[in-house]
Amino acid sequence: MKLANKSHSFIYNLFYAFAAQAISLFVSFLMSLIVPKLLGITEFGYWQLFIFYSGYVGFFHFGLNDGVYLKYGGNSYKDLDNKLLGSQFWASMLLQTVIAVGVIMYAFIYTNNDARIFVLISAAVCLILVNASGFIGYIFQAVNLTRIYSLSVIIDKVFFIAAVFILLFIRETDFRPFVLLYLLSKFASLIYCIYKGKEIIFVHIQNLKTTFVEISKNIAIGINLMAANIASMLILGAGQLFIDQRWGINAFGKISFSLSLTNLFLVFLAQFSMVLFPALRQSGSDNLNHLYQKIRSNFALIFLAIPLFYFPMTYVLILWLPQYLESLRYMIFLLPLCIFEGKMQVLCNTYLKVLRKERVLLGVNLIAMLISFALIWISVYVIQSIVAVVVSMVFSVIVRSIIAENYLSKLMNISTLKFLVQEISLSLIFMVATWFLPSFMAFIIYLLAYIVYLFINKSLIKEFGSTLSRKIRIRKQH
């Protein structure tokens, strides 16, 4: 009975998580495919620059949010120490505000481009909003109340969708209103999080010594995970930074457009990982090995089919956004990210967090980041090629996936070498065929390669099919 309740809770949370991410997918689609048509390359480049900077604001909670997430993962909401958590929240927000003011002062003193000043000021405001809602949201995720966090995401995205449609209707061609409404949507999400977590937020603050001792403990727990996340982001982010610095905002916009299209395929995975973490923390250690192999094999079947969508997608996008033809060429090398970044998000990151191997995760990401930095520097200043930068980014992500999977395989005494070889081979076939051959011929070659892969792993397909049919039968019985 208890196991059934856990399974029901997992499915219930997963439903809300995927609902939130379905809306996020629509927002990504809107901002990646509709808005660029209206804004133009330069204005879209500044929008992407704001999104890029906003992606790194989590660095400034210094691991506190991650520490709370790891410390309370698998606990019950009613068992939390509300006064202690609330005191940490307000102390953290004071620090975020001080940092945001510093960023704004930097923008005015060291930046002479009005658009970039606006981007930095907006990112500073986003820093406060995102880290505040992140603190509360991580608590809900940790105690398996993922649906509350997912609803906050839904509020954020629905508000922004409505705002974007208004801007599209009036044919707004300046990126600034999009940024302002993005911030307003984050504020709406924060208000909902505060309302649902009012027992934590509206408390009598504990004395400073107790608060800062607890903050120090949680930062010590979360700093490795936070640093690992930042290092992970910089594997790709370094390439974007160098491109912006070397080739300007238009080139930055084009490469960001390619990455945003790639992200459309990855958008669901973060939510699956979010739900998977507390579920695995509550599972027995005996189940972890079996679940790892099962999840990995099922997702591999899906991930490796994604490159097939490149061919019809590019045909439509060339007609819709001909000015981004160069971006679609970059996607030939970026699309394999879906395979290796997807595995990293769903499996490696989640399992290393469940097993409390944050230092290992940090080490893996740092190695990949340093490889990325070195190769990107050579690509920018020696080879002087954006394509070489993109290839360097993808190579670094593949190396990271191989190292992480190799570590987990040894830890759990299982072998994944055969599957890694298959996945790398299929990725190389896609990149080489699509870069050098006409699209239709490249599509046929990759389709045949994927069919061969399915034939070699037909036992996995049978297992996947039997699992799916069993789930359907259970649902019908209920």
* pLDDT average, residue stretch 321-343: 84
313 Cβ partners below 8 Å, 6+ apart? 261
Structural domain contains residue 411: yes
Structural domain contains residue 104: yes
Cα–Cα nearest to 251, from 41, 37, 29: 41
Residues 8 and 157 in one domain: yes
Residues 187 and 288 in one domain: no
Residues 295 and 188 in one domain: no
Structural domain contains residue 370: yes
408 Cβ partners below 8 Å, 6+ apart? 292, 347, 348, 351, 352
Q: How confident is the model at residue 471 (pLDDT cuts 50, 70, 90)?
A: very low
Residues 326 and 395 in one domain: yes
Q: How many domains are there within the chain?
A: 2
Structural domain contains residue 459: yes
Q: 129-133, 261-265, 323-327 — which one is most confidently predicted on average?
A: 129-133
* pLDDT average, residue stretch 366-391: 93
Q: Which of 204, 223, 242 is the last residue of a domain?
A: 223
Q: Note the pLDDT of residue 14.
A: 62
* pLDDT average, residue stretch 110-135: 92
Ramachandran category for residue 355: left, alpha or beta (phi over 0 → left; psi -120 to 50 → alpha): alpha
30 Cβ partners below 8 Å, 6+ apart? 161, 164
Q: Note the pLDDT of residue 434.
A: 92
Q: How confident is the model at residue 21 (pLDDT cuts 50, 70, 90)?
A: low
* pLDDT average, residue stretch 83-102: 90
Q: Note the pLDDT of residue 281.
A: 62
Structural domain contains residue 260: no
Residue type (1 letter), 473? R
The yes-or-no verdict on residue 175 having pLDDT over 50 is yes
The yes-or-no verdict on residue 36 having pLDDT over 70 is yes
Please indicate whether residue 15 or residue 317 has the higher confidence score (pLDDT).
317
Provide the 10 A C-beta neighbour count for residue 456.
11
Residues 289 and 218 in one domain: no
Q: Note the pLDDT of residue 4.
A: 44
231 Cβ partners below 8 Å, 6+ apart? 362, 365, 366, 368, 369
Number of H helices, E strands in the chain: 22, 0
Q: How confident is the model at residue 105 (pLDDT cuts 50, 70, 90)?
A: very high
Q: How confident is the model at residue 1 (pLDDT cuts 50, 70, 90)?
A: very low
Show the domain range for 87. 1-223
The yes-or-no verdict on residue 408 having pLDDT over 70 is yes
Residues 213 and 289 in one domain: no
| CA dist., res. 264 & res. 164, Å (int) | 18
The yes-or-no verdict on residue 459 having pLDDT over 60 is yes
Lowest mean pLDDT among 102-116, 183-197, 407-421: 407-421
Condensed to tens digits (0 to 9), the pLDDT of residues 340-351 reads 888 887 778 777
Cα–Cα nearest to 89, from 138, 149, 148, 136: 136
Share of the chain above pLDDT 90, in %: 28
Structural domain contains residue 478: yes
Provide the 10 A C-beta neighbour count for residue 208.
10
Please indicate whether residue 151 or residue 278 has the higher confidence score (pLDDT).
151
From residue 265, give the alpha-carbon distance in Å to each of 48, 107, 341, 342: 18, 34, 11, 9
Structural domain contains residue 233: no
Average pLDDT, the chain: 83
Residues 288 and 217 in one domain: no
The yes-or-no verdict on residue 12 having pLDDT over 80 is no
Cα–Cα nearest to 38, from 186, 181, 172: 172
Q: How confident is the model at residue 184 (pLDDT cuts 50, 70, 90)?
A: very high
Provide the 10 A C-beta neighbour count for residue 293.
17
Please indicate whether residue 18 or residue 177 has the higher confidence score (pLDDT).
177
Structural domain contains residue 80: yes
Q: Note the pLDDT of residue 472.
A: 43
